[in-house]
Structure 1
């Protein structure tokens, strides 16, 4: 026989059965309650008290709860821990309910659908991504529900999984959903765990697939939909999930864009990490990154857009030049730039505010923030209409101040409204006649009470009599027991206290009904007026979103021009001759970190004629890696549309930048440093083109010397003969410098060093020619190794550098052979050591060589 519970718990169980994977916040009065397993989980994760409740039939069930007015903070903690929360509200007035109050889930909050300010990153998007694989296509659909941004993309071929992982790393979604069977799910899950560990991921199933397929066209229309059916289905799954979690019409998700890889400079996840484009390798923050150097945005909307630009630079020269021209104009007009930035300081994140308005969670303070933001925009527009660049003309035409909305909010809401929307105090006097009349009644009631109290004291002669109120008993007249004999007969006893009695009179009862009715009506009417105001604004969602996009664009252009002015950057020339020419280039991040030391600039000249591959040799810590990263970062900056740290720069856009820098074991998958290195090099050799820029730092150091040198040389030869990409290749294998004379377009460069005895000064200048030393012992000394170790290392190094016979033989025959060992253990060794080579005649030399040959033949059994 099935267990039965109280009617309320049966209602809870019925709703919970529809949300088995969610923690159910069940509204009961002023609290959200949780029961059974949810209560045990929530009490543990939220560190709140676990109690019990009568479940019927003598059963006790686990229970815990949180106040409804502070529920957002508790929900935020659960979401951060990877849980989903279903919020179940009372959908009818408990005072009018017959039996159990009706309840239903009004929204499901997941990591990818949060709208709480406590969980949303201000300067980054919060993406939800759906993945689907079908008919050879690996598709994604992504949405930031807090801004309404929605996009899709698809990948095919042997590299589709790698391309998808690169895209996921760039999006850094809060939540990923797998739709149907995905053959590459294991590889993607492994990547998520390693590179996006905070991301929640699960599967999504749909029962009515025919209904699901109708969603994209009904929501977006037919013009913007993907042509390929798998991609359309991926968008459909995304919309299905949003409708079943947010339970709103999603009118703010009104534009579906396509991710077009061909329109961007592609930076895979390895390159994004190695170059520290937007996240540093230490803690994942933007400190010490290219984004951190360029970010002078004034608004959250601009900060999010700048992050997109930095992670997805352009590759079309016309579009790049359009951005550069706008930045250039602001650099040349510092007063206009300063004025626009000053106005933008007063602009709130109204891109997200409009989303809260659409889903019905915006409060009165959100609306006043929207009013203040929009009221600033006419001043911004006035400033940009004076600018000539194409982007400013376009932005000015699409930038609206929405003064009707500004005036409406100004008329309706007080300047500093409360956070709560159901407790009154939001609506400005004069906005609504009925509300003003009710407020007059409520306000005059205080004077009426004062007069009543004075009259009753005078009439009864009881000087201590007072009129009071509480929420349980309403209004009353209170008289102490000492004066009970003087209470008139028209008083009706209402409550007895330890020291006093409380009474009611017909006159006071009539007043109570009038006043309490007015105060209750005030709260209800204020909320109705506020909801009506919110709905009016909601009808202009699209227009306000368009305005938000233009504000973000202006903010980013101002940010890039501010960075250019502060850091002495120059406008790069964008050319199409496939060359990269930089005069006195500087590393944008490193030069900012050098507080008191001057950064040493360097030139770069890469082309497809006489310098396609630069082989860079020189000591550790001398600046080889900094220089190579610098070249890559300046290319990225130029293709963003940013000025660059250099005296001059002429840059042809590249299609991809590949980097292999540093060494790290991938312990989670059991891969060694060398295996990771070779996998990354393999990826580069498979995907690089003649339009790419390749950065390779110390290839082959994870294995034996001859293996490593052989691999390094073979990689250079492959790039030169097959790929023909512009390449920077740093190495300690000085033997590779001989390639300069063997291959056209391969040039040697090194880091200049000045020696003073055992002391070495790194000049950090890249100069033509190869180096023949690595200065490793000197670097070890700088690192603080004990003096005795340094001296011993120098002695060993000196011994190995002596041109004795062992060295000669080892150099002549790298492969192990029994000949050298047997030869130098024979009696001939003394004779050889005694020879004076400078006085031996040619005939004597031939005789000595003849003896050595016969000895070798005898030992090899050939005599």
Structure 2
């Protein structure tokens, strides 16, 4: 016999049928309750008590619940575990309901549609991405509903999925929607599992695709719609899913933009990861990244934009120059920079605040934060009005101050409103006449109660009589049992206590009705006025969003200027031919060195005589740091940033490729060598003559002769066919022979100084190749036992005799010691010649002499 459920439980079961893939939070009074399997799952995941509830005749079902006022914390924990939550609320006044109160799901919270501050990263986006494929065209659409950003892109060709994966790695979506058959779905799933494991995948289908096109045209202007049908479908699916989950008009998503790859330096997933540009390889966090060094932004909007700049640098030299000029102007005007720092520090994340206002989840504190943010805009506008460069003066001209909104909120909302908008106490006196009258009535009620108490004491002669109130029984007159004989017949008994009786009178009952009605009216009127204020702000959302974008751009420019000022960065010249860097430094590593000076290095790359640089030398000597350094300096130059160098002239590159380090891809069963070969294959497929390639130790994951053959073949292919500017580090010294037969290949090595059995790595990159790897010396530095080191030397001598190796006692860097010393001396000479001795104080001269001596000692290996 089927269970007979109560009407409330039948209502729950009917709603749950419509949301089988979500945990249903069912509002009952002050709690959200879950039943059946949902209760068991939530109890386990949230570690809360699982109970049961009578759900009908002889029927009990599992149940657990969370208080409504703390629901965001519980939702956050479930979202982080990949769950989706359907929020079911009462949508009918219980006083007017006939039978059970009507309930509906008002929103579905998914990883890609969250708006709670507890689930969002201040300086990071939270993207929802959609993929749609048809006719060998793969389209991506993505939106961050917390900021209103919405973009699309189309990918074609045999390698379209690999390019999509690169975009996804940059976006790091928390949710991915699959809307059609994806040809290489298994490869996509492997990539998501390995590189974006937190991303939740959902598959949806719409039978009538005309619905998607209609939805898209209703939401965006005709000039913003994608020309590609595939991209149109992806964008339509994106809007469809958002409407199904957020259940709002989404008017804050009012711009649909194409991410045009032709305007940006492309950074694939491997390079973004290997160079640790915005996320480190340890835990995916910000620490130890280029972003961590450059981020001095004061606003969340600026922090998000700076991250986008680093992940998508510019290609157009004019655009790069515009940013450089703006950064340079703020660098040269520290007083303006300081004033901007203070003003920007007062700004809240109002880009997300206006989203909450539009969606309907904002409270009065959000309006106060919005007012505080907009209030400093006149100061920012004054700062930028005295600037001269194109970007800064453009921001000044377009920046709106929104004084009408500031005045509205200032006049309407109290400075420290409560968290809830349903309890009143948030509208200022004087804003609304009716509200003021109701409040006056409520205030006078205390005086009226006091007068009534005095009056009744005199009339009855009962000195202990008092008039009180509680939420259960309302207003009452309390008389002790000892004085019950003096109670007038007009008193009506209401409640008996242990030592007293409580009464009501017609006069007190009339007063109670009036006062309680006034309190309810006050709360309802305040909420109504608050809604009106929000609607007036909503009418200006588009303009406020534009202001947020202007503030973000200004904040990002300020951040790069601040970094340049603090770290002594210089402006790189932009050319179209070559990369020339003098005394370049690694921007991240130099910040981590506390006890020693970072050794700078020069770089020359061009298509004439320095196209491919073969770099040899021992492990731990600095080859990888040097190559990463070159890539990062080029990238910094292409976002318009100043760079750590003495001087530089850099041509923009279309792509940066890196194959650095070794890592197994165990999730997909790939070895280190297979990962290495996959990454090299991608480089060979996509690199152009305008690219920058960084390759570190290709071929080490297989046998010596196999690895050497692969490494040489790769270099020859790049040299002969791709002709990209390339840094190639290797332990295969035989590759240095390539420089003998090609004018574009040059050999470089890391300077090393030997003193007996001791080796000192000088960290300088010098012309010429190394003739040995110093592997045993590195092992000794790592702490291997002395006996192992001695035995290794013996075995090495035997192997060299067997294979007829003629090993020089001194490595090439030391054989070229004269050249090395000359290089160092010329650096010191330049520093000395640049000094204005006549302006130095005695203390400055002493400090400088000490610094130069330490530099000389380090360069000759005495430190």
Q: Normalised by the shorter chain, which TM-score bucket?
A: over 0.9
What aligned pairs does 1:729-744 form with structure 2 within 5 A after superposition?
729-744=728-743
What aligned pairs does 1:366-445 form with structure 2 within 5 A after superposition?
366-445=366-445
CA RMSD of aligned residues (A): 1.3
- Aligned match of 1:668: 667
- Aligned match of 2:580: 581
- Aligned match of 2:617: 618
SS in 2 for 1:107: strand
- Aligned match of 2:634: 635
SS in 2 for 1:118: helix
User: Is 2:636 the counterpart of 1:646?
Assistant: no
- Aligned match of 1:724: 723
- Aligned match of 2:454: 454
Cα displacement (A) at 1:464: 2.2
- Aligned match of 2:804: 808
Alpha-carbon distance in structure 2 between the residues aligned to 1:762 and 1:516? 83
8 Å contact from structure 2 (residues 638, 652) kept in 1: yes
User: Is 2:261 the counterpart of 1:261?
Assistant: yes
- Aligned match of 2:156: 156
What aligned pairs does 1:258-337 form with structure 2 within 5 A after superposition?
258-337=258-337
- Aligned match of 2:477: 477
Q: Deviations over 1:37-63 (max 9, x none)?
A: 212212222222222222122211222
- Aligned match of 2:361: 361
- Aligned match of 1:817: none
Cα displacement (A) at 1:66: 1.6
Alpha-carbon distance in structure 1 between the residues aligned to 2:81 and 2:706? 47
Cα displacement (A) at 1:462: 2.1
Alpha-carbon distance in structure 2 between the residues aligned to 1:730 and 1:66? 58
Q: Deviations over 1:206-241 (max 9, x none)?
A: 244322221111110211111111110111101111
Cα displacement (A) at 1:799: 3.3
What aligned pairs does 1:773-812 form with structure 2 within 5 A after superposition?
773-802=772-801, 806-808=802-804
Alpha-carbon distance in structure 2 between the residues aligned to 1:479 and 1:205? 71
Cα displacement (A) at 1:561: 0.3
Cα displacement (A) at 1:3: 4.1
Alpha-carbon distance in structure 2 between the residues aligned to 1:728 and 1:97? 75
- Aligned match of 2:82: 82
- Aligned match of 2:15: 15
Structure 2 gap segments, 5+ residues each? 808-863
Alpha-carbon distance in structure 2 between the residues aligned to 1:219 and 1:398? 25
User: Is 2:214 the counterpart of 1:218?
Assistant: no
Q: Deviations over 1:745-770 (max 9, x none)?
A: 10000101111000111110000001
Cα displacement (A) at 1:708: 1.2
Cα displacement (A) at 1:668: 1.6
The worse-fitting range, judged by mean Cα deviation, of 362-371 and 37-46 is 37-46
The worse-fitting range, judged by mean Cα deviation, of 18-27 and 723-732 is 18-27
What aligned pairs does 1:14-93 form with structure 2 within 5 A after superposition?
14-93=14-93
Alpha-carbon distance in structure 1 between the residues aligned to 2:483 and 2:784? 94
Alpha-carbon distance in structure 2 between the residues aligned to 1:261 and 1:342? 36
Alpha-carbon distance in structure 2 between the residues aligned to 1:809 and 1:313? 48
Q: Deviations over 1:367-401 (max 9, x none)?
A: 00000100100100010011111111221122111
8 Å contact from structure 2 (residues 3, 56) kept in 1: no
SS in 2 for 1:213: helix
Alpha-carbon distance in structure 1 between the residues aligned to 2:115 and 2:398? 27
- Aligned match of 2:747: 748
Q: Deviations over 1:164-213 (max 9, x none)?
A: 00000000001000002112221111101100011111101224432222
Alpha-carbon distance in structure 1 between the residues aligned to 2:309 and 2:158? 28
Cα displacement (A) at 1:135: 0.9
Alpha-carbon distance in structure 2 between the residues aligned to 1:809 and 1:215? 74
Q: Deviations over 1:87-126 (max 9, x none)?
A: 1111111112111111111111100000000001111000
- Aligned match of 1:569: 569
Alpha-carbon distance in structure 2 between the residues aligned to 1:330 and 1:681? 41
8 Å contact from structure 2 (residues 76, 118) kept in 1: yes
Cα displacement (A) at 1:810: 12
- Aligned match of 2:810: none
Alpha-carbon distance in structure 1 between the residues aligned to 2:61 and 2:668? 44
Alpha-carbon distance in structure 2 between the residues aligned to 1:726 and 1:350? 44
Alpha-carbon distance in structure 1 between the residues aligned to 2:439 and 2:160? 65
What aligned pairs does 1:174-193 form with structure 2 within 5 A after superposition?
174-193=174-193
Report the TM-score, using the length of structure 2 for normalisation. 0.92
Q: Rg larger in 1 or in 2? A: 1
Cα displacement (A) at 1:15: 1.4
Alpha-carbon distance in structure 1 between the residues aligned to 2:154 and 2:47? 43
User: Is 2:709 the counterpart of 1:710?
Assistant: yes
SS in 2 for 1:339: helix
The number of residues matched between the two structures is 807
User: Is 2:340 the counterpart of 1:340?
Assistant: yes
User: Is 2:520 the counterpart of 1:524?
Assistant: no
- Aligned match of 1:815: none
SS in 2 for 1:604: strand
- Aligned match of 2:699: 700
- Aligned match of 1:681: 680
What aligned pairs does 1:55-134 form with structure 2 within 5 A after superposition?
55-134=55-134
SS in 1 for 2:133: strand
Alpha-carbon distance in structure 1 between the residues aligned to 2:223 and 2:736? 57
Alpha-carbon distance in structure 2 between the residues aligned to 1:808 and 1:354? 75
- Aligned match of 1:238: 238
8 Å contact from structure 2 (residues 3, 57) kept in 1: no
Alpha-carbon distance in structure 2 between the residues aligned to 1:140 and 1:696? 30
Structure 1 gap segments, 5+ residues each? 812-863
The worse-fitting range, judged by mean Cα deviation, of 458-467 and 248-257 is 458-467
Alpha-carbon distance in structure 2 between the residues aligned to 1:535 and 1:181? 42
SS in 2 for 1:281: coil
8 Å contact from structure 2 (residues 3, 59) kept in 1: no
Alpha-carbon distance in structure 2 between the residues aligned to 1:363 and 1:398? 29
Residues 328, 810 of structure 1: CA spacing in aligned structure 2 closer, same or farther, 3 A cutoff? Answer: closer
Cα displacement (A) at 1:800: 3.2
The worse-fitting range, judged by mean Cα deviation, of 642-651 and 67-76 is 67-76
Cα displacement (A) at 1:293: 0.4
Cα displacement (A) at 1:463: 2.4
SS in 2 for 1:177: strand
Alpha-carbon distance in structure 2 between the residues aligned to 1:198 and 1:177? 14
Cα displacement (A) at 1:4: 3.5
Alpha-carbon distance in structure 1 between the residues aligned to 2:639 and 2:658? 18
Q: Deviations over 1:108-163 (max 9, x none)?
A: 11000000000011110000001111111111110000000000011111110100
- Aligned match of 1:770: 769
Report the TM-score, using the length of structure 1 for normalisation. 0.92
Alpha-carbon distance in structure 2 between the residues aligned to 1:135 and 1:712? 38
SS in 2 for 1:748: strand
Q: Deviations over 1:663-691 (max 9, x none)?
A: 11111222211111111111111111100
Cα displacement (A) at 1:79: 1.1
Cα displacement (A) at 1:27: 1.5
Q: Deviations over 1:522-563 (max 9, x none)?
A: 000000000010011001010000000000000000000000
Alpha-carbon distance in structure 1 between the residues aligned to 2:81 and 2:274? 29
Cα displacement (A) at 1:809: 9.8
Alpha-carbon distance in structure 2 between the residues aligned to 1:180 and 1:700? 39
Alpha-carbon distance in structure 1 between the residues aligned to 2:499 and 2:180? 73
8 Å contact from structure 2 (residues 165, 188) kept in 1: yes
Residues 47, 807 of structure 1: CA spacing in aligned structure 2 closer, same or farther, 3 A cutoff? Answer: closer
